[in-house]
Structure 1
Amino acid sequence: MNLTPIYNIAEICSQLGITQAILSPGSRCAPLTVAFARHPEITTRTISDERSAAFIALGLAQKTKQPTVLVCTSGSAAYNYAPAVAEAYFQQIPLLIITADRPPEWIDQLDGQTIRQQNIYGNHIKKGYQFPIELEHKDAQWHAYRIVSEAINLSKSFPHGPVHLNIPFREPFYPTADEEAVYEKDIKVIHNIASTPTLGDQVINDITNSWHQFNHILIVGGQGDKNIAINTSLTQIIKEKKIPVVGDIISNLHDVEDIIKRSDIFLGQDKNGLHESLQPDLLITFGKSTISKNLKLLLRNYKPTGHWHIQPEGEVADTYQSLTKIIRCSAEEFFKHIADIQAEADFHNQKQENFFYLWQIEERKTKRLLETFFPTETWGEFECIKETIERLPENSDLHLANSMAVRYANFVSVSTPEVEVFANRGTSGIDGSNSTAVGHCLASDKLQVLITGDLAFFYDRNAFWNNYDISKLRILLLNNHSGGIFRIINGPSRLPELEEYFETKQPLTAKLLCQEFGFEYLHCDKKTKFNNYLKAFFEDDGLAKILEIESDSATNTEILKQFKQTYKDLK
């Protein structure tokens, strides 16, 4: 087999800016493995568990903001990528998935490691490409190279996302022992020059004129990367125009002055007609998903007259059932123009200011509650998460696993401006949280702090089954030996099957896992030990660390109920 066209796949990737590849061992993918492993400009790593490999690649791409290549062999290996592919699709993270396949004549012929791999990821990729089986003819090579360029450019176009290349191989596909990998530097490559839609003068005038028709304007930021330009404009808008801005922990808006961080707490109560008083007449949204179900319910039950969503390209979800206008530009540009709109001292602005203070009063009340409710006499997960987040080092990223970890953290929010927050909220599954954080370790010198529950942690234990330096990893493991979230959901919490079939009790701890992988293990089951352990946990001394907090699921639920009741009792 002429392997040069396969080697040139790696060369095209390199010329289009890809520097990272995650490979999983296999035979059918041997030409691809050699192509990437021998390329001098691409850092390759091998991860045996394909499900973990895909989430590690997701973490790398999430951190570097560039596509990561994934390579696996034929058969079920490709299916193991599926959870991370779906997460990347909904979280808009660029991945280039390359799966080796059997030749077409052997599909459905009961041959080993042979499944139907074309379109295997369905609607959870931006596009799938099938490589030509014969690569001898010049036109076939032109076709193959064009496909690679198109796939990479598509993964990087807004909204970013995963793209799939399926490549069938006939035997023999191993290079000979003395065969060198030849990369053709003058290979045909298609460069995509990206641009962002901008607002023309007429559109700006229309927005400005419409703006003055509304008295209660609310801005909501969904999940997004930390963006200094956006945060600077929002700080100005809050200060000068008295517009409340809501952003939960995954919005990375926590360094915006007077941001509404804890709406999920106070919107959980509707005392004295609170919800009706917080109804906007203009809602402006940007970013991806929000965590707070309470915020979604408020905006669905008390719909605004106008809802503008800011997004340069792509499909837009009508999350709050009130979408009236899609403004095609970047959030940076939009909020810069909004910050420049001149405010006038009139009755309209007085209404907006009153609306702003209604949101601020609830936010400050909630902040005071967090300060006075803790420390509690009974120790639990909530307090551990609060203390950990409040003491995060500046040079760190925060990762949040799904289920209770991300919800507790959203109540607390982040106070360290330099910290960036990551969470797999595209599909919001428990799979892959460890692996995603490991991917960040491979891409960054910062401490990577993951807060996770026991089920998510043990589900993804193969994240650590690799030969790479992940000494920057810190895991706060909340081990209540069950899925504690089901105790706060009304349905399962009342059922006799709760403990066996919903919580799924398990007896594991991380002690032996730490021994296996050479992690430092800190075990804490008493409140008096926690502060000293937390200090050791954050020390950067060349070892990955797990701080395991053992607690009781029922006690954690009771503390959370007391916290919510205390807020309800506040005047």
Structure 2
Amino acid sequence: MSSISSNRCWATLLLECLTRHGVRHCCIAPGSRSTPLTLAAAAHPQLYCHTHFDERGLGHLALGLAKTLKQPVAVIVTSGTAAANLLPAVIEASLTGEPLIMLTADRPPELIDCGANQAIRQTGLFGDFPGRQLSLPRPTLAIPASWLASTLDEILGGGQVGAVHINCPFAEPLYDDVVLTDDPWSAELGDWWQGLQPWLTMSHAAGITPQGNWHRWRHRKGIVIAGRLTPEEGPNVAAWAAALGWPLLSDLQSHTGQPLPYADLWLSHPEAIAILAQAELVVQFGSGLISKRLLNWQAHCRVAEYWLIDSLPGRRDPAHHRGRRIIASVLPWLDRHPPGLAAPVARRQAASAYMPPVVAGANIADAAAGVDSRPVAGWATGLQRLVAVARQRIHLTPDVEAGEIWLAHHLNRLLPAAGRLFIGNSLLIRLVDALGQLPAGYPVFANRGASGIDGLLSTAAGVLRGGLEPLLVIIGDLSALYDLNALALFRQCQAPTVVLIINNNGGQIFSLLPTPPAVREQLYVMGQQVEFEHAAALFGLSYRRPESAMAVEQALEQAWQQPAGAGATVIELRTGSREGADAYRQLIAGMPSA
């Protein structure tokens, strides 16, 4: 059989193997060398194909899909710099755990390092950021189909976290009109083609071992920190902390409802430090904390033990505490560590009302150990007063109508009902984390692994395509410019979508740095003096530029009425260059600190 037959057979089997590991979405950029993969994906009945002309945006589109679907997403690109443009998405996925499968078409070995067109060394292109890497040989029918299937199953069936890179060299010819009527190579796999299971199933031991002395620790003074969690995990962590009577310091991405909001303001207050210094144990769920004040407190807290529970591998603790790093899924861990009962607390659904368990008496294990089984009820209640002080300061802070402080503090009023939120990086996400309080379980998405501004609109487009709920995207002007062509991905939306661009003329998070003003403006902030009306028109999107808080709310309300299939609405909120950064700095300075 010819090389084109070999290419076609290998690509068909490769895509089939991916579907056996849960892949249902494939993101494809145009290219010639990737033709065998593209045609195999297009012909597969279980794959939905997304396209984008920008490979960097394509990688982030897949990242957003993986975030919301909680499924592996495949990416197909051609050789050369097309493959290299996937690196930012690979890096982000390596830090936040989204399962991406990067299929990079390549030239065969004889065309590498000899001056051939569009041929670069792609093996190891992404360094050690992918969790697993596989460089396939040139397709040949001399290698059994069972080898390819079992090799792919080994790399895909190991409990994938982050990106997998599969480099796929194809020799020409890539195109012809040959119809394969007899394919003994694929037929070697027999009735496997009619099934749904991988050729080779990889088994992994699973289970959570309870911490042996939990029955003692749960009656001590503890603190719970919630980092990046899912909408299902967040409310359950909040309920668990409430049942224990432990204060919960939570991140914007925690989905806990932030029962002690505005921690970025009050956490350095002497009274807060004195209260929290009484703690004997910190239990942290998830990682990727946003607040610098929370990170600073976390780095300097001194407790008898520090436990960090996260399903992602690695230490996940930049402060390097002495304690326990527990690699486990949050919900099963909570089940195995009840707050005060012998049986686990009934699991709480996201955004539903929680009824704490009734502790009727001593737990048997606690009684046997001579431990007082009554939980410490709200031992850090003094923090509520500091929350009230911070809230009052926010209300008294001078701010222009519809400014960044107003937006961050009142964001919960602007969210679409039963919708989702994607929020960009830099100053914007810090303001919302510090000054906002979102509903428990309301889905929040962000790229807080490497925390870059590249590919944010593309990632949001992937989040949009992964569900049917309305989506609010909030992003800064430089971030929007960085990924402007991703607006093409919002021409048709399966749910009402708003791209809210906060235009403060540059990267104003750098206004918080103690750099000379002239240098700051020229080399850090880099204001571009742009408006986004023409960008919206370029891609056929509706555009609004409200001038007041009421106008913002009205523009959003109208956007949420758009029918499915319509394009997104771009809303540009123009603010003074340094108003938000200056007001934030004043709020921080206005709270006494140790």
Structure 1's 349 and 208: CA in aligned 2 closer, same or farther, altered over 3 A? closer
Structure 2 counterpart of 1:176: 177
Structure 1 counterpart of 2:147: 143
Q: Which amino acid aligns with 2:216?
A: N
Secondary structure, in 3 states, of the residue corresponding to 1:475? strand
Give the 5 Å matches for 1:392-541: 392-417=415-440, 419-466=442-489, 469-470=492-493, 472-489=496-513, 491-492=514-515, 494-527=516-549, 529-541=551-563
Structure 1 counterpart of 2:353: none
- Post-superposition shift, 1:429? 0.3
Structure 1 counterpart of 2:265: 265
Structure 2 counterpart of 1:226: 231
- Post-superposition shift, 1:482? 1.1
Structure 2 counterpart of 1:248: 251
Give the whole-Å Cα distance in 2 for the aligned partners of 1:473 and 1:377: 26
Are the counterparts in 2 of residues 223 and 290 from structure 1 also a CA contact under 8 Å?
yes
Give the whole-Å Cα distance in 2 for the aligned partners of 1:115 and 1:259: 52
Are the counterparts in 1 of residues 498 and 556 from structure 2 also a CA contact under 8 Å?
no
Structure 2 counterpart of 1:198: 208
Secondary structure, in 3 states, of the residue corresponding to 2:213? helix
Structure 1 counterpart of 2:344: none
Structure 1 counterpart of 2:162: 161
Give the whole-Å Cα distance in 2 for the aligned partners of 1:41 and 1:179: 21
TM-score, with normalisation over the residues of structure 2?
Answer: 0.85
Secondary structure, in 3 states, of the residue corresponding to 2:421? strand
Per-residue deviation, residues 125-167 of structure 1 (Å, max 9, x unmatched): 101101121421243x33322232223223x44xx21100001
Per-residue deviation, residues 398-418 of structure 1 (Å, max 9, x unmatched): 111000111111123343345
Q: Which amino acid aligns with 2:264?
A: D
Structure 2 counterpart of 1:278: 276
Q: After alignment, is 398-407 or 294-303 more displaced?
A: 294-303
Q: After alignment, is 180-189 or 509-518 more displaced?
A: 180-189
Are the counterparts in 1 of residues 411 and 438 from structure 2 also a CA contact under 8 Å?
no
Give the 5 Å matches for 1:268-347: 269-270=268-269, 272=270, 274-279=272-277, 280-312=279-311, 314-341=313-340
Secondary structure, in 3 states, of the residue corresponding to 1:285? strand
Structure 1's 364 and 511: CA in aligned 2 closer, same or farther, altered over 3 A? same
Give the whole-Å Cα distance in 2 for the aligned partners of 1:446 and 1:515: 25
Q: Which amino acid aligns with 1:303?
A: R
Give the whole-Å Cα distance in 2 for the aligned partners of 1:217 and 1:340: 11
Structure 1's 310 and 6: CA in aligned 2 closer, same or farther, altered over 3 A? same
Secondary structure, in 3 states, of the residue corresponding to 1:339? coil
Are the counterparts in 2 of residues 282 and 305 from structure 1 also a CA contact under 8 Å?
yes
Are the counterparts in 1 of residues 101 and 164 from structure 2 also a CA contact under 8 Å?
yes
Per-residue deviation, residues 234-274 of structure 1 (Å, max 9, x unmatched): 41441x321111211111112xxx7223211212x43x453
Give the whole-Å Cα distance in 2 for the aligned partners of 1:388 and 1:363: 18
Aligned pair count?
550
Structure 1 counterpart of 2:367: none
Structure 2 counterpart of 1:91: 96
Are the counterparts in 2 of residues 196 and 312 from structure 1 also a CA contact under 8 Å?
no
5+ long unaligned stretches in structure 2: 342-358, 363-369
Are the counterparts in 2 of residues 233 and 339 from structure 1 also a CA contact under 8 Å?
no
Give the whole-Å Cα distance in 2 for the aligned partners of 1:180 and 1:30: 20
5+ long unaligned stretches in structure 1: none
Give the whole-Å Cα distance in 2 for the aligned partners of 1:407 and 1:349: 40
Give the whole-Å Cα distance in 1 for the aligned partners of 2:311 and 2:339: 20
Are the counterparts in 2 of residues 435 and 460 from structure 1 also a CA contact under 8 Å?
yes
Structure 1's 469 and 350: CA in aligned 2 closer, same or farther, altered over 3 A? same
Are the counterparts in 1 of residues 403 and 575 from structure 2 also a CA contact under 8 Å?
yes
Structure 1 counterpart of 2:23: 18
Matched, 1:387 2:410: yes
Q: After alignment, is 161-170 or 356-365 more displaced?
A: 356-365
Q: Which amino acid aligns with 1:336?
A: D
Give the whole-Å Cα distance in 2 for the aligned partners of 1:540 and 1:375: 35
TM-score, with normalisation over the residues of structure 1?
Answer: 0.89
Q: After alignment, is 426-435 or 142-151 more displaced?
A: 142-151
Give the whole-Å Cα distance in 1 for the aligned partners of 2:203 and 2:443: 28
Matched, 1:207 2:207: no
Give the whole-Å Cα distance in 2 for the aligned partners of 1:333 and 1:474: 36
Per-residue deviation, residues 450-504 of structure 1 (Å, max 9, x unmatched): 1111000110112123586236321111001111111122x33x34211111100
Structure 1's 428 and 52: CA in aligned 2 closer, same or farther, altered over 3 A? same
Structure 1's 109 and 311: CA in aligned 2 closer, same or farther, altered over 3 A? same
Give the 5 Å matches for 1:38-57: 38-57=43-62
Are the counterparts in 2 of residues 57 and 95 from structure 1 also a CA contact under 8 Å?
yes
Structure 1's 528 and 250: CA in aligned 2 closer, same or farther, altered over 3 A? closer
Give the whole-Å Cα distance in 1 for the aligned partners of 2:294 and 2:121: 42
Are the counterparts in 2 of residues 14 and 41 from structure 1 also a CA contact under 8 Å?
yes
Secondary structure, in 3 states, of the residue corresponding to 1:356? coil
Structure 1 counterpart of 2:345: none
Structure 1's 443 and 303: CA in aligned 2 closer, same or farther, altered over 3 A? same
Q: Which amino acid aligns with 2:162?
A: G
Matched, 1:357 2:381: yes
Q: Which amino acid aligns with 2:146?
A: W
Secondary structure, in 3 states, of the residue corresponding to 2:62? helix
Structure 1's 181 and 529: CA in aligned 2 closer, same or farther, altered over 3 A? farther
Structure 1's 393 and 55: CA in aligned 2 closer, same or farther, altered over 3 A? same
Are the counterparts in 1 of residues 266 and 272 from structure 2 also a CA contact under 8 Å?
no
Give the whole-Å Cα distance in 2 for the aligned partners of 1:539 and 1:164: 41
Give the whole-Å Cα distance in 1 for the aligned partners of 2:178 and 2:535: 39
Give the whole-Å Cα distance in 2 for the aligned partners of 1:209 and 1:94: 38
Give the whole-Å Cα distance in 1 for the aligned partners of 2:53 and 2:327: 42
- Post-superposition shift, 1:304? 1.8
- Post-superposition shift, 1:527? 4.9
Give the whole-Å Cα distance in 1 for the aligned partners of 2:529 and 2:312: 48
Amino-acid identity (%): 24
Q: Which amino acid aligns with 1:530?
A: V
Per-residue deviation, residues 290-332 of structure 1 (Å, max 9, x unmatched): 1111111112223222101224573223333213113354322
Are the counterparts in 1 of residues 80 and 120 from structure 2 also a CA contact under 8 Å?
yes
Structure 1's 318 and 550: CA in aligned 2 closer, same or farther, altered over 3 A? closer
Are the counterparts in 1 of residues 106 and 122 from structure 2 also a CA contact under 8 Å?
yes
Are the counterparts in 1 of residues 480 and 501 from structure 2 also a CA contact under 8 Å?
yes
Are the counterparts in 2 of residues 248 and 261 from structure 1 also a CA contact under 8 Å?
no
